[in-house]
A and B are shown apart, each in its own frame.
Chain A
Amino acid sequence: MATAIIMPRNGQSVESCIITSWNKKVGDEVHVGDILFAYETDKSSFEEEAKMDGTLLAILHEEGDDVPCLENVCVIGAPGEDISEFTGGAAAAPAAEEAPKAEAASAPVPEKEAAPAAKATAEKAVGVSPRARNTAARLGVDLANVTPTGPNGRIIERDVLAAEKSTSAALKAGVPAGVTGTGLGGRITTADIENAKNAPKAAEAAPAAAPAAAAAPASVGYRDEKITRMRSIIGKSMKKSLQEIPQLTHMMSYDTTQIAAFRAALKAAPETLGLPKITINDIVLFAVSRVLLNHPALNANTIDENTMRFFDHVHLGMAVDTPRGLMVPTIFNADQKSLAEIAVEAKELAAKCQEGSISPDLLSGASFTVSNVGTMGVEYFTPVINPPQTGILGVGGMTDRIKVVDGAVKPYKAMGLSLSFDHAAIDGAGAAKFLKELATALENFQSLLAK
């Protein structure tokens, strides 16, 4: 009897394998132990041995085919046997489909006796009308925050409009400058700036109105508050980044002795040089802009599942904490700018963000981001990647450490660097190399300047 050979499942997570070579042709005699074909997953290579004697009657997938596990790959049997039931891979598929059908058919049986149709309708069918969905998308309203008032608990358009109205009222009350960060992590996006422009009077709204949205405090010592729209968006976008990007964080510290000396020297430099004030952060930005070009996978954007975009230059996103929320302006072509130029630009951008006068064009387009929370005493943290970027560097504060130099214990000031990177874009070793190179560059900053 003709027998189909299936693509084995080598591991629970393996969904399909690619056939790399066929060792037998159709019509070849096959003996137990003969290698039929070789195949591979993204992690390893395998060979499939024949488990029966016979003739290879049909090859159902060619070299290079990505074959779902358990699907028929070839057929072995006696010459002339009917193999129609295996061809086209159709034989296995319906069988697989039948099983869930049977389950589905058997499941509702107990319910059937209790008039299932009526029950289904009686239940609160929480749905969203197509129009409400469209309106929510248009207005940027999160349907999770919409209270349904339609028939059978359906969210209808007026609910979306009501939610939009109350949210904007709350925001007007709570955000002094009238700009709401709706981007990742509460970042203020281009659209937010535009929205703020369209609502110039928002800043005048009374801040005292905010508590009005709160529920009355319970006597047992807590109070329930409706989650604000901004927090909700921050939560959602954080979740999205963390759910969709396989990200992890490498941490490393470096000795800041040289850059501290360098900064001291700068401070002592004659005014005639016209140097701007240069901060540790400027120095880190400069070092990143020089080192990053050696690591294209981190100076990149993920366009879609199949496409990465590698940038010719370094466009550094720079996290700025403002009263309105976190903003990330971009220093374009940072790799072509001097330390002084970077320092000046960073200061300007930060000031504009504080004022709320930043051009929307400068709030996007970064290829990599640097976030600095060191002044707050954080040593290391796990910054969250801002998609579609592939990495973000978290800069920590300075701490006293000791190390052994020539047999003697020597104290020094160390600074923590935390690199979160997208494992889909770069492996751990590659990311570590970048971090190491960056630390080395910072430790030998004067040499870097000479470069």
Chain B
Amino acid sequence: MSKQVYVDPKATRAPRTITFADIDVNKYQKAVKDELGNIPNADLVQIYKDMLYVREFETMIQNIKQTGAYQGTEYNHPGPAHLGIGQEAAYVGQAYLLTTDDYSFGSHRSHGEIIARAMRAVETLPEDKLLEIMKGFDGGKIMKVIGDSSDDIRMVGRNFVLYGMTAETFGRENGFNRGLGGSMHAFFTPFGVYPNNAIVGGSGPIAPGAALYKLSNRKPGIVVCNIGDGSLACGPVWEGMVFSTMDQIRELWGDEFTGMPILFNIWNNSYAMGGQPVGETMGMHDHARIGAGLMPNELHAEKIDGYNPLAVIDAYRRKKDIVKEDGPVLFDIVTYRYSGHSPSDASTYRTKEEIEAWEKEDSIEAYGKQLIEAGLATEADLGDMKAAVTEDMHRNMKLAIDEKISPRIDVFGKTPNAIGDLMFSNQEVRSFDTTRKAEVNMPYEESPRAVMFAKKERKGIDEKGNLVGKNKVYQIRDALAEPILKKFYEDPTLIAFGEDVRDWGGAYAVYRGFTETIPYHRFFNSPISEAAIVGAGVGYAMSGGRAVVEIMYADFLGRAGDELFNQLSKWQAMSAGVLKMPVVVRMSVGSKYGAQHSQDWSALCAHIPGLKVVFPATPYDAKGLMQSAINGTDPVIFFESQRIYDYGERFHLEGVPEAEYEIPIGEPDVKREGSDVTILSIGATLYRVVEAADILKEKYGISAEIIDARSLVPFNYEKVIESVKKTGRIIVTGDACERNSFMRNLASNITELAFDYLDAPPVVVGAKDWITPAHELEKCFFPQPSWIIDAIHERLLPIPGYVPSHNCTTLEQIRENAAGV
């Protein structure tokens, strides 16, 4: 929603025709001799050698997988191997014009991309810079193995690439990511090689985030999103494309913003694993066609013969600047893999004749002939190059499989927690770029929201003990907004986006008044593309920035499943700490809106290793936890409840300080002390617990201790155990459906940790395992104060004379479980 774009009924309803420009296919038909003078001779030869390196690496893996040996050296590699033998020309052609300012993201079949780009960086970086990168990487561990005595620093660089990549593939600590990324996730950012992704199309929504980083922070270079033809059937890839083609960049962000600097580079090898996108599983025929569907400029799309490295170089030569000035651009690059999808692939889906026909046109063979034809090499030169490449590969392979030289992370010995220690970076980084001023439209004090904050009453309860009126009180939505607004002034890389965040202020007005304060390129409405929203946050953070993204309702997180569960959560550890992931994903838990808008899915997030999960229920906690989240370096899933956005601070009687403070993530809080029963609450049930506790105290003389979980991951049980030691009884409650909820996790751990102190097993009072009904029926679904008292009576501490209204006996529990409801 934006007031700037007028929707003119006359223009909208006027008759017209949509036209498309022609899209070129395989227009480039030149050979080496035609590029003499355009491309330096040495480079023309090096292109050949780099293709050999790519093929030799893949051949090495293939031989190990299929015969248990390479060049007579035996080795067993049980891990994955998705090889791209046949695709070398496309990889090397792409790498030729990319510099280390250009970030490329890849797929599970990306060994070739990585090696091609890294070899190109080795050839083109200034020697001192190259040496600095290699010596500086992870304490110089690779240099210690390959040695830097050679006069030929480029040769040292080639060894660096081959060894680092092989060690990574084989899960060795000396690999680019300490062996924690492996074959499908390897990368090396100093050379511009960003994470590759085992999820088909995984980079589709992530790479746009990197492009956004370059755009918003005015960084040089472009972003290349390498995806296969099969991934064009994946929703998140489309979301990434739509996110990258948003009109607002050109229309609303200002004159200097002319497009998203991203190139969608489709490796079109005609197979999606074994399925055939053309003729079988999809209907595009020419994938370049989709450019026309996405933007009037048709994404400058073209289809390029990736069997000729010079054709790919030509395309990048013509379009690289356009990516920067009028991106995105889309390339549909024709290629072919002889190797199977993986070693277990018997190629049953294609004929021998087809493979042989492509092998006859093998790009390396053909290019070698062109070199001879152009007088740049003899047959003997080519043979020498092949022998040298094989020797380089074999030498580095032997180093990489040597258990002494290239051990694995010692998780069975000295460093059993090595992987656990990498799950979170747990750092405090107040700003990710202290060299420049944050771009804002006005001083903080003049921001309409800051003006509003100043007028708010920061205490939720007045001196007489009454609740302060909603219009006056500093609410949870204010507490969420205040640290973010301030962070916009402190960290110039901070960016926030999501659906309707700008003029609307987000569906629940948390960002109200930000529109005037923060320029578009730091704060904008995204398309309704949850995968792209979270994915772009991931790519943005990988590139070095901080993002707060919002997906409105927790119910929508399924739409960003891969991005939350495989990407956001995993990359810190899969990169062995190279990458940080300072991304806060905000989502609200609804009510009133029925089955698909009222779910607390915190347990899904808590289940996934690598995510911090918080769910504050008071303004004081919301502000402190948000501050911790945006001062930190880890991904934080920030649950908010729509029921209580307008609540003032009712527990912290001094009110919510204006000054910054942090509440450590992972520490529950005792909201009210008591002696007979502990009630541990997640999220908005806190207020129903208070009601229940008041009734217990006034009517039944039972003193309840109330603990607010505040965080789910991490979670420090000490306070809860201390409480249970005192009371002997505990109820865990929250608005999530009871089955497999985080409440169950809490109850299970409390049982184990405080068993000897328990007077009864912990009881979970969650929502029913049903759909959420209409608002008028919600009291039969969500935990109510009476349910808590019923549970105390029926499961913990029978109250003389009490008549429960709700069946929470063990018999009912058995019946419900037997019925699966």
Contacts and interface: CB of A to CB of B under 8 A. Distances in A.
Nearest to A122: B811
Contacts of B758: 129-131
Interface stretch (B181-189, B661-669, B790-798): B790-798
Interface in A96-132: 117-118, 121-122, 129-132
A150 B759 contact: yes
B728 A131 contact: yes
Given A150-B760, A151-B796, A157 B811 contact: no
A156 interface: yes
B811 A130 contact: no
A154 interface: yes
Contacts of B814: 117-118, 121
- Residue of A122, A132, A134, A151 with most partner-chain B CB within 10 A: A151
Contacts of B810: 121, 151-152
Interface in B704-760: 728, 755-760
B756 A134 contact: yes
Given A117-B814, A131-B728, A157 B796 contact: no
Instruction: Give the one of B758, B759, B760, B814 with max A CB within 10 A.
Output: B759
Contacts of A122: 811
Contacts of A151: 760, 794-796, 798, 810
Nearest to A125: B810
Interface in B792-821: 794-798, 810-811, 814-815, 818
A158 interface: yes
A129 B730 CA distance: 13
Interface in A56-90: none
Contacts of A131: 728, 756-759
A294 interface: no
Interface residues of B, number: 17
Nearest to A157: B759
A156 B797 contact: yes
Contacts, number: 46
A129 B760 contact: yes
A149 interface: yes
Nearest to A151: B795
A132 B811 contact: no
A129 B759 contact: yes
A121 B757 contact: no
Nearest to B725: A131
A40 B237 CA distance: 81
A204 to B, nearest CB: 30
Contacts of A150: 759-760, 797-798
Interface in A123-178: 129-132, 134, 149-152, 154, 156-158
B718 to A, nearest CB: 19
B759 A156 contact: yes
A157 B798 contact: no
Contacts of A132: 759
Contact of A134 (B757, B794, B796): B757
A156 B759 CA distance: 6
Nearest to B763: A151
Nearest to B724: A131
Interface in A273-293: none
Nearest to B798: A149
Interface in B100-136: none
B651 to A, nearest CB: 28
Nearest to A128: B759
Contact of B760 (A121, A134, A156): A156
Interface bracket on A? 10 to 19
Interface in B447-487: none
Nearest to A118: B814
Contact of B755 (A118, A130, A157): A130
Contacts of B755: 130
Nearest to B817: A117
Nearest to B751: A130
Nearest to A158: B797
B586 to A, nearest CB: 41
A127 to B, nearest CB: 10
A152 B756 CA distance: 19
A175 to B, nearest CB: 31
A121 B811 CA distance: 7
A115 to B, nearest CB: 9
Contacts of A118: 811, 814-815
B59 to A, nearest CB: 47
B795 A130 contact: no
Nearest to A134: B756
B781 to A, nearest CB: 24
B751 to A, nearest CB: 10
Interface string B757-781: 1111000000000000000000000
A133 to B, nearest CB: 8
Nearest to A160: B759
Nearest to A130: B756
B796 to A, nearest CB: 7
A151 B761 CA distance: 11
A209 B810 CA distance: 42
B760 A154 contact: yes
Interface in B485-542: none
A307 to B, nearest CB: 30
A39 to B, nearest CB: 45
A117 B796 CA distance: 21
Interface in B54-96: none
B229 to A, nearest CB: 54
Contacts of B797: 150, 156, 158
Contacts of A149: 798
Looking at B760, B798, B810, B818, which has the most chain A CB atoms within 10 Å of its CB? Answer: B760
A150 B758 CA distance: 13
A373 to B, nearest CB: 45
Interface string A420-445: 00000000000000000000000000
A126 to B, nearest CB: 14
A134 B755 CA distance: 11
Contacts of A121: 810-811, 814
A341 B756 CA distance: 52
B812 to A, nearest CB: 10
Nearest to A149: B798
B120 to A, nearest CB: 62
A151 B759 CA distance: 10
Contacts of A158: 797
A150 B810 CA distance: 13
Contacts of B759: 129-132, 150, 156-157
A120 to B, nearest CB: 9
A132 B728 CA distance: 9
Nearest to A152: B810
B774 to A, nearest CB: 32
A327 B815 CA distance: 58
A152 B810 CA distance: 9
Contacts of A154: 760
A359 to B, nearest CB: 35
B681 to A, nearest CB: 22
A156 B818 CA distance: 28
A253 to B, nearest CB: 55
A116 to B, nearest CB: 11
Contacts of B818: 117
Nearest 10 CB-CB pairs, A to B? Answer: A131-B759, A131-B728, A129-B759, A156-B759, A157-B759, A121-B810, A130-B756, A151-B795, A157-B728, A131-B757
Interface of A: 117-118, 121-122, 129-132, 134, 149-152, 154, 156-158
24 contacts: A117-B814, A117-B818, A118-B811, A118-B814, A118-B815, A121-B811, A121-B814, A129-B758, A130-B755, A130-B758, A131-B728, A131-B756, A131-B758, A132-B759, A134-B757, A150-B759, A150-B760, A151-B760, A151-B794, A151-B796, A152-B810, A156-B796, A157-B728, A157-B759
Given A129-B758, A156-B759, 12 more contacts: A117-B818, A121-B811, A129-B760, A130-B757, A131-B759, A134-B756, A134-B757, A149-B798, A150-B759, A150-B798, A151-B795, A151-B798
